[in-house]
Structure 1
Amino acid sequence: MASDAGRILRLRLRNHLALMVGMAVAATAVAAGSWKLGLLWLPNLERILYDSALTRFTHRQGVSSDIVVLAIDQPSLERVRNNPTYARNFGNYPWTRNLWAHVVDELAYRGAKAVLFDMVMDERSTDPSTDESFAQAVRDTGMPFYLGMSAHPSTPPFPKVDPVHVPRALTPPRPLPAQAPGQDAAPQQAEEFEEQEDPSQAPTDPIETAKVLAFPVKTNGRELPLLEYEPTPGLRVPSHIVPPLPVLLPEAGGFGLVEVEPDPDGSMRRTRFAYSDGVNPFVTLPVALAADLFGAKELEFSGRTMRLGSREFQVNEDGSAEIDFGGTLYQRFPLVPVADVLDSWGLRQEGKAGRKEDLEVLRGKIVVVGGLALGLADQKSTPFMALTPGVSKQVAVLDNLLAGRFITETPFWVSVLFGLGLALFSSVLLMTLRRPVLEFVWLLGIVPVVFMGVGVCLALGRVHPLAALPAAAGLLSSLGATASNHLFANREALFIREAFSRYMEPKLIEQMIEESELPRLDGEEREITAFFSDIRGFSSFSESFRDNPRMLVSVLNRYLTRVSSALLYEGGCLDKYIGDAVVCLFGAPVNHSDHAVRACKGALAVQTAVERLREEFREKNLPDVYTRIGINTARLFVGNFGSDQLFDYTAMGDGMNLASRLEGANKAYGSLIMIGPRTYELAKDSIEVRELDQVRVAGKKEAVRVYELLALRGELSSEKRETVNRYHEALALYRLRRFSEASIVLDTQLSRAPQDGPTAALLKRCQEYAETPPPPEWDGVTSLDKS
């Protein structure tokens, strides 16, 4: 059965492969074109699938061992506001910069490795001394300090420069000496500045500023993205760098852009590493810090590779990369409230050292300062959270730089190839198996299949093949295959109407079509009942028409019409005529569960029709006709068989051969309808039979019981039942080798029913064995010759 099913699949694949491939190619082309043009909602679907796969498959356990977030959280805002000393010295948020001077001092004391400020400081304070206080703290502690910078369309561009970056060694910082308790550094420094020119007001050379802010980027022919601003949808204007406070320019380890870089839906998923204002190149803030960490003199792009000092990263074709968040900000990074660091600094100044372990998490770490409080209006969206502090992006990018990997998109052709493979698999799967349930399940399952594939790529390789394009290709190909299957089904229905109209009752054909029970014309295995009939002595019958062959054809046609009508009435399918022989199938192509009973009813109806025909023939002085019938039930392979020029719907298998042998065996037993054991087993509750014998078919070792079909259940006459009972009695004696006793029983009954052929046949055999006993190994089985 498995080999038959495999043959069917191979035939379908061979016959429709060109259509399957064409359908897959067309579906992939439509999907690829729609992706390029932004049609079919593919960009939105892509973002949804990517976000789901990213959060499900790339979520990592544990917190970073390299980065700590110094949080400007709501409790810190309240603690500064509610502390009279803090409120007097630092004001409300945004705090004066001498607060950050103390924070930098304390971070140096706690052994922080470097500080990255996710903020910009491009406006001078109302008290310039606080700006200098901050710059002085950075200078005196030696803290590697990296500050954000922004761009704006109203800012004039810097002149073009040849930027040079000398990597700064991230040496351990040194804390400032403790001051007198309660004394703030700002007033002393303010007095000093009263005697000098305000450094924040000092003119700054644009060329020198550009040299500090710009970063050498080697693009190897790739154009850097421009800094742009979109005041209204569709209108983009160039932006230029807003320079940070001049007092901070010589003190900071580096400056970098803090662009949000949202996708069209506003969510942060990817980052660029360098931008241009149309004149000079500038790097992002995490790159500015990583450049010193990796000893980089320049940032270099080459194909899908980015080099930064000692590190090499895979990037997308446009120089961007997708961020491997690994989880939410709160799951991935230790968070320290800025108020804790400020309190620790205050206690140390008063000589009241707090618990050392409270801030030990800062030692040797890169500290990223960013706002977490909702009131700071710095809430963005990432795949992991609908609203998360904007610092999440900067921290995640820095973490990816330190880990040496980002998520990168596969080349477009890989996604197209993925889509083509899925589309081809879909068309082959649905057009070979042709299961309506499978069509429905597969249509629902394509997106989950693509989702799992993308998830595995993200988890194992940190690569992102497109999901929406292959999903669209698979769905379009599946819809095409489903439509094609229904078209084939309609064609098959039309073919079945035409092909079976001469072999089956029209109502059965329509029932088969309406119930979607179309036969598999390319073959299938099922249990059916085969019917064979033949005219006894047809050679002698036809000899009588030797001088009038036209009459022979007319008589034979009348006979075949009567036999065929009786069989069609019971739901049979006429297989073929072989001269005077009729071959009929029950249970195929219509899958009748009672096919054995129908075949028996059809055989009895044929006998009744032939009896009437005999009477008609006698009245017209035509030769007499008798019909012998063989019926057998078995699992047979049914379908269209033949050549390219001629084929027909029929059945093949040993079961068909046995049905033919049973028809011929009637001659030896004097019976008219002989049925096989499986037919008897399925129909025994509906029929009356006589067990004739155990027979062995030529070429087979196993013996089978055969039966004579006599009537439908309850329609057997009492005289015939008595004959059957005596026959069974004699058959039992026969099998016990008591041939003489069996002969007596049979002879007595034959005198009462002289026309009973099986009684006469068994009597003759018993008499022969009584005179010449069979050999000792005789098992009571009769062998049927091939003839």
Structure 2
Amino acid sequence: MASGTWKTIQERWRHHGLPMLGIALVATLIAWACDRAHLLKDTEHLAYDKALVEFTGGRAASGQVVVVAIDQSTIDAISQDTQLQINFGNWPYTRTLWARIAQELKAAGARAVLFDAVMDEQSSDKSADLGFAQALRETGLPFYVGMASSGSAKPLVRADFQAPVPLSTPEAAPHPEPPGDTFPEEFEDAPAPAPPVLTPEARARALAFPVSRTDGEALPSLQGTSRDPRYPVPPTPALIGAMSGFGLVDTEADGDGSMRRTKFAYTDGINTYVTLPVRMMADLLGAKEVTLSGRTLHLGEHTWHVDDDGGAALDYGGPLDTRFPQVTLFAVLNDWIRRSQGKSVDLDAALFQGKVVIIGGTSVGLNDIKATPFSSTQPGLVKQATVVDTLLSGTFITRAPAGVDLGLTFFVALVSAVLLMTARWTPLEVAWPPVLILGLFVLTGVLLKTSHTHVLMAMPALAGVGASVAALAFNHLVANRETQFIRQAFNRFMEPKRVEQMIRSRQLPRLDGENKEITAFFSDIRGFSTFSERFKEDPRQLVRILNTYLTTVSGALLREGGCLDKYIGDAVVCLFGAPMAQEDHAVRACRGALAAKAAVEVLRVDFRRQGFPDVYTRIGVNSAVNFVGNFGSDQLFSYTAIGDGMNLAARLEGANKAYGSVIMIGPRTYELAREHIEVRELDRVRVAGKTEAVTVYELLALKGQLDASTRHTVARYHEALGLYREARFAEAAAVLEAEAARSPEDGPTGKLLERCREYLESPPAKFDGVANLEK
């Protein structure tokens, strides 16, 4: 980074550091307040969903969970088969069907079954319920069914998990089983056994599950956001005791209806209950209790990171049809029929082996279609399958701590303010907000993918955009103030149209100073002390004459884009290339010097006519890198330049006297403007305090405007100068004498002739062809 740029950055930080900090802080507080007021919830949901899909989607299918789908093809196949219609009826099918499915899944080697539905209505055929219960007992297949909560349900008694099981039952009489190749309709007339009689304690023990929080926080309430209490709806009594367990399957959707999160345990104020996947996994992992400790969920020896509220976001990894192997319910039923008939099954023998089976509806007609980040029409069972898969071998998505979100928000706001208030670059001001939002989106997605952490995006984005807008407003205010200052500061020293051009092009000078190459102009009136002596008794007349002279010279310079630096008595100091950058500053300075010379010649004629003293003017022009900026004290400061280049320009002006020239320019000026000017090489000189010699030139005219007579004089001068540098003073003098006779008014010819004659009379002890310019 260039030192000048770094100085600008430091200067802006020093002057505007507190506003930057204040803008970031205010933007952060506003964004935080909006988030707390839930004004950003919908935006955050959209951003989260997009990041989840883009960065976590496309995961391979699960190898631990298989979905048995109650799809439209199953419903159609059963409704179109008379025998199946007689046995199982229409949806919702008799529980005899689920007995057959349980038998087939057990035979196929399923590890456990989660049925994403409720069975809280007693069948009109009580024997079907009892037969289903008997089938579950005989197969020993872990089978778990959902339960819903309702405001109309009655509260259960408090479950005492330490007491003996108070289940008093007349044991259900064995339900006769059909031979392997027959259907249950042959047994419809069999006497139905009596259902079990459950005590209130037994019902509570069957539905509730021990849950504790060791951090002192309360469990989520079944009441949710409603004021009416809700309690679990018990399943049909025939299934309690036969089922392995029951869990809540209430829809856990956000306000927009999308399922993004789940909680693992609830309370109704009397008992604690767990969700259906947790209930099943507790048994599979040998856990007798669910424990929530801070941000950790414990099931036996297994732990998962969760949020402070006891919930977590679901890492779907993709839509249902790509994440979990699926098979239709009819295919499983067909395999049971084939197996009971002694035939080979159609499904792959390894499909269910050691897998957890999720049974649920996928048909639109079953009214279990929900929205997830991956699709607005996903079967509700995708949530249960995802939770089970994560509990088996995955990680939930958890929210970053509030301090992290707030810290990121402040950081984004601060970076936005500092960047825009420091750079003040229009393309960056336009591009930064979308780049900021894209960057936050990528950050959110990467963290979701790599660490399963959800960092808020909407709140930092709002703070960043807000800080950006405030920074732009501040920049606009500062720019207006700087523009006004520039206009006031430079209108006296530059043509107003040049000042406005500088402002429009945003070439505002760095008032704190910078190193840059410029061309300096110095002019002075010959014999001004004598000049002023004539007006000792009339100083006002001197002022009028001097003002006329300075206005004439300044006007010529301003028309070429020069910036008047200062007046030192009769002397004029002008800068080209600052404060407004000018690539052709050397050419402009040369044109300005020639224009000033011409204007002064006209003025001299006028002054002679009025009887005023002569204003013969000498000019020095030099190009070099100087330090330009505001200099001075607390009481007075001005825009000027300092450096060796300025000193040389001043000395070149004075050196005209020694060479009889009017405009002397330095070597760098000649190098930059040589294609546009006519010059005479005057000499090689050494400035006081310097050892290196430089070549100086007399500026004569613009390119192509030198008359033939002057061109001849310049050629003879160069010829004599070559002889002079070889110390051939007599030969040089002869050339110069001839030219002096022809052009007696040419000052440099006469001055060089004087030196040659002087050296002929008193030869120098050591001659190197270089003249010394004293102060």
**Structure 2 residue 754 is matched with structure 1 residue 756:** no
Shift of 1:49: 1.2
Alignment partner, residue 198 of structure 2: 204
Match of 1:239 among 226, 230, 238: 230
Aligned position for 2:169: none
- Counterpart CA distance in 2 for 1:774 and 1:296 is 112
Determine the structure 2 residue equivalent to 1:172: none
Matched residue, 2:345: 354
Secondary structure of 1:317's counterpart equals coil
Amino acid at match of 1:396: T
Shift of residue 20, structure 1, vs aligned partner: 0.8
Match of 1:451 in 2: 441
Partner residue, 1:170: none
Amino acid at match of 1:289: M
Partner residue in 1 for 2:636: 646
For the 8 Å contact 2:564–2:575, the answer to whether it is kept is yes
TM-score (norm 2): 0.91
The match for 2:212 among 199, 208, 218 is 218
Equivalent position amino acid for 1:216 in 2: P
Q: Residues 89-238 of structure 1 correspond to what in structure 2 (within 5 A)? A: 89-163=87-161, 180=179, 182-185=181-184, 187-188=186-187, 190=188, 192=190, 194=191, 196-197=193-194, 199=195, 203-220=197-214, 221-228=216-223, 236-238=227-229
Letter of the aligned partner of 2:245 in structure 1? G
The alpha-carbon deviation at position 472 of structure 1 amounts to 0.8
Which stretch of the first structure deviates more once superposed, 607-616 or 276-285? 607-616
Q: State the one-letter code of the partner of 2:202.
A: E
Deviation at 1:35, TM superposition (A): 1.2
Q: Which amino acid aligns with 1:509?
A: V
Pair 729,89 (structure 1): closer, same or farther in 2 beyond 3 Å: farther
Deviations 1:482-529 (A, max 9, x none): 000000111111112221121122232233334444333334454433
Superimposed CA distance per residue, residues 119-139 of structure 1 (whole angstroms, 9 cap, x where no aligned partner)? 111112232222223222221
Alignment of 1:462-477 (within 5 A): 462-477=452-467
Match of residue 320 from structure 1:
311
Q: Which runs of 5+ in 1 are unaligned?
A: 168-175
Does residue 531 (structure 1) correspond to residue 521 (structure 2)? The answer is yes
Partner SS state of residue 659, structure 1: helix
C-alpha deviation, 1:113, in angstroms: 0.9
Distance 1:302 1:684 in 2: 84
Structure 1 distance, partners of 2:644, 2:109, is 90
Deviations 1:83-103 (A, max 9, x none): 443333223332222222122
User: Counterparts of 1:43 and 1:414 in 2: how far apart (Å)?
Assistant: 18
| Contact 1:164 1:297 (8 Å CA) reproduced | no
Deviation of the 1:549 alpha carbon: 6.5
| Correspondence for 1:67 among 62, 65, 68 | 65
**Contact 1:217–1:298 (CA<8 Å) still a contact in 2?**
yes
229 and 464 in structure 1: CA distance in 2 versus 1, 3 angstrom threshold: closer
Shift of 1:215: 1.3
- In structure 2, C-alpha distance between the alignment counterparts of 1:324 and 1:700, rounded to whole Å: 76
Moved more, 498-507 or 111-120: 498-507
Does the 8 Å CA contact 2:220/2:310 hold for their aligned counterparts? no
CA 1:750–1:55: 2 relative to 1, 3 Å: same
Aligned residue for 2:14?
14
Give the TM-score normalised by the residue count of structure 1: 0.90
Q: Which residue of 1 aligns with 2:33?
A: 33
**Distance change >3 Å, CA 458–CA 772, structure 1 → 2:** farther
1:312·1:404 contact (CA, 8 Å) conserved in 2? no
Moved more, 553-562 or 408-417: 553-562
Output the amino acid matched with 1:288: R
2:258 is paired with a residue whose SS is coil
Say whether residues 1:665 and 2:665 are aligned partners. no
- Report the more deviating stretch, 50-59 or 624-633: 624-633
Quote the residue 2:614 is aligned against.
624
**Shift in CA distance, 470/80, structure 1 to aligned 2, threshold 3 Å:** same
Partner in structure 2 of residue 282 of structure 1 = 273
* Worse-superposed segment, 630-639 or 668-677: 630-639
State the SS of the aligned residue for 2:716.
Answer: helix
What RMSD over aligned residues (CA atoms) do the two structures have, in Å? 3.1
Q: Tell me if the contact between 2:683 and 2:771 (Cα under 8 Å) persists in the aligned partners.
A: no
Counterpart residue identity of residue 117, structure 1: F
1:150 to 1:785, Cα distance in 2 relative to 1, 3 A = same
Relative to structure 1, is the Cα distance of residues 436 and 523 closer, same or farther in structure 2, using a 3 angstrom cutoff?
A: farther
Q: Does 1:518 find its partner at 2:518?
A: no
Q: Distance in 2 between matches of 1:766 and 1:165?
A: 130
- State the one-letter code of the partner of 2:126: P
The equivalent residue for 2:254 is: 263
Q: What residue number does 1:341 align with? A: 332
Q: Distance in 2 between matches of 1:457 and 1:701?
A: 65
Aligned residue identity for 1:223: A
Please give the per-residue CA displacement for 1:730-751, whole angstroms capped at 9, x wherever unaligned: 4455566665544433332122
Q: Is the 8 A contact 1:13 1:432 kept in 2?
A: yes
Find the partner of 2:597 among 599, 603, 607. 607
The 1:734/1:485 distance shift into structure 2, 3 A limit, reads same
Query: How big is the shift at 1:706?
Result: 3.4
How much has 1:163 moved relative to structure 2? 4.4
| The 10-residue stretch of structure 1 (297-306 or 24-33) with the greater mean CA deviation from structure 2 | 297-306
Matched, 1:576 2:574: no
- Does the Cα contact within 8 Å between 1:133 and 1:186 map onto a contact in 2? no
1:71-114 residue CA offsets vs partner (Å, 9 max, x unmatched): 22233333333444333322333222222212211211121111
Match for residue 372 of structure 1? Answer: 362
Q: Aligned partners of 1:214, 1:35: CA distance in 2, in Å?
A: 36
**Secondary structure of 1:640's aligned partner:** strand
Alpha carbons of 1:195 and 1:247: their partners in 2 closer, same or farther (altered >3 Å)? closer
Q: 1:324 to 1:656 in 2, by over 3 A?
A: farther
Aligned residues of 2:295 and 2:307 also touching (Cα < 8 A): yes
* 1:759 Cα offset (Å): 2.2
1:254 to 245, 250, 253: 245
Encode CA deviations 1:360-405: one digit per residue, 9 max, x unaligned.
Answer: 1211111111222222221111111221111111111222222352
Q: Distance in 1 between matches of 2:294 and 2:516?
A: 61
Unaligned runs of at least 5 residues, structure 2: 166-174
Secondary structure, in 3 states, of the residue corresponding to 1:238?
A: coil
| Cα-to-partner distance string for 1:651-704 (whole Å, 9 max, x where unaligned) | 344443443343233333322112234433444444332233455556667665
User: How far has the Cα of 1:480 moved from its partner?
Assistant: 0.6
Counterpart-to-counterpart distance in 2, 1:74 and 1:90: 16
Answer whether contact 1:165 1:215 (CA < 8 A) is retained. Answer: no
* Aligned residue in 2 for 1:53: 51
Q: Helix, strand or coil: the match of 1:583?
A: strand
| Among 590, 593, 596, the residue aligned to 2:580 | 590
Equivalence for 1:173: none
C-alpha spacing 1:664/1:146, structure 2 compared with 1 (3 Å):
farther
Paired position in structure 1 for 2:171? none
Name which of 403, 406, 411 aligns with 1:421: 411
Shift of 1:116: 0.8
Q: 1:440 & 1:602 partners in 2: Cα distance?
A: 41
Q: How far apart are residue 566 of structure 1 and its match? A: 2.3
Supply the distance in 1 between the matched residues of 2:773 and 2:281 (Cα, whole angstroms). 94
Contact 2:127 2:193 in 1 (8 A): no
**C-alpha distance in 2, partners of 1:714/1:391?**
92
User: d(CA) in 2 for partners of 1:359 and 1:566?
Assistant: 101
Query: Quick one: distance in 2 between partners of 1:654 and 1:85?
Result: 110
Residue aligning to 1:720: 710
Tell me, in whole angstroms, the C-alpha distance in 2 between the residues paired with 1:213 and 1:529.
Answer: 93
Distance 1:785 1:191, change over 3 A: farther
Separation in structure 2 between the aligned mates of residue 151 and residue 302 of structure 1, nearest angstrom: 25
CA-to-aligned-CA distance 1:412-438 (integer Å, 9 cap, x gap): 222111111111111111111111221
Percent of residue pairs bearing the same amino acid type: 53
- Gap change, CA 1:693 and 1:652, over 3 Å in 2: same
